[in-house]
């Protein structure tokens, strides 16, 4: 299953289910296509977990894959990721 949510407020903007157990990186292109179809070209960046390393997405949206760098994330990016929309 692949789920897309917003950074502010955690709004669900897309969800897809897949048969079997596909590699997450191979599902990203389809998920991004669904998000663009549902909300248009309002997305500029996508933040994904380490399961999406080696993804197959090639498009206008910048994909940022999380890294194992505890305490080394640039402060503005860390704050942006932690936004709750309140």
Per-residue pLDDT tens over the stretch 17-26? 888 888 888 8
Q: Report the alpha-carbon distance of residue 25 to residue 73 in Å, rounded.
A: 22
Q: Are 19 and 3 in contact (CB under 8 A)?
A: no
- Residue 8 three-state SS: coil
The predicted model gives 11-15 an average pLDDT of 87
Please provide the average confidence, as pLDDT, over all residues in the chain: 79
In the chain, domain spans: 2-81
CA triple 63-54-58, angle to 5 deg? 50
22-45 average pLDDT score: 86
Asked whether residue 32 carries a pLDDT value surpassing 70, the answer given is yes
The H or E element containing residue 46 is strand 45-48
Confidence of residue 79 (pLDDT cuts 50, 70, 90): low
- The dihedrals phi and psi of 51, each to the nearest 5 degrees, come to -65, -15
């Amino acid at each position: 299953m692949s789920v897309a949510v917003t950074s502010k407020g955690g709004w669900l903007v897309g969800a897809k289910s897949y048969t079997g157990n596909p590699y997450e990186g191979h599902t990203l292109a389809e998920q991004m296509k669904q998000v663009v179809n549902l909300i248009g070209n309002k997305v500029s960046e996508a933040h994904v977990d380490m399961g999406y390393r080696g993804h197959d997405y090639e498009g206008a949206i910048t994909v940022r894959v999380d890294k194992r760098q505890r305490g080394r994330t640039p402060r503005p990016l860390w704050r942006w990721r932690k936004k709750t929309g309140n």
